[in-house]
């Protein structure tokens, strides 16, 4: 992937990830396809994004989610759109939840 994630390439990546059965955590994409290509370390990237090194590290190591706040910061920094980052996170979260098994629920449309 190009070191400069344009809206077009991020959208294409989003489409591929959202359609995956086991979507990758967007932190891995940020780590491997963005920061690595740009040659940025965690500290420098965190400083440029205006967040703590620890907060960014947690996302990059897939221990924390891409928040709406971080998604907007990434968009402002020129690496895709906030909507794309959040869609990738939502796809990952949904796949993780579904993999954990179906919750015990009853249909709302059933007659009691």
Segment 66-107, tens digit of pLDDT: 999 999 999 999 999 999 999 999 999 999 999 999 889 988
DSSP characters over 17-75: HHT-SSPPPHHHHIIIIIIHHHT--HHHHHHHHTS-HHHHHHHHTTSS---HHHHHHHH
CB-based contacts of 8: which residues, under 8 Å, 6+ apart?
A: none
Q: Is the CB of residue 76 less than 8 Å from the CB of residue 57?
A: no
The class level of CATH for 7-99 reads mainly alpha
Helices 7-18 and 82-99: crossing angle, nearest 10°?
10
Using left for φ > 0, alpha for ψ between -120 and 50, and beta otherwise, residue 52 falls in: beta
Per-residue pLDDT reduced to its tens digit, 24-64 = 999 999 999 999 999 999 999 999 999 999 999 999 999 99
Hey, where are the domains in the chain?
Answer: 7-99
């Amino acid at each position: 992937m190009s070191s400069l994630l344009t809206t077009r390439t991020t959208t294409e990546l989003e489409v591929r990830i959202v359609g995956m059965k086991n979507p990758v955590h967007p932190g891995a994409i940020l780590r491997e396809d963005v920061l690595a290509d740009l040659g940025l370390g965690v500290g420098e990237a965190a400083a440029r994004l205006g967040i703590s090194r620890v907060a960014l590290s947690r996302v990059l190591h897939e221990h924390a989610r891409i928040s709406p706040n971080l998604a907007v910061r990434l968009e402002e920094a020129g690496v895709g759109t906030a909507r794309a980052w959040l869609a990738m996170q939502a796809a990952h979260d949904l796949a993780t939840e579904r993999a954990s098994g179906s919750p015990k629920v009853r249909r709302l449309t059933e007659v009691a």
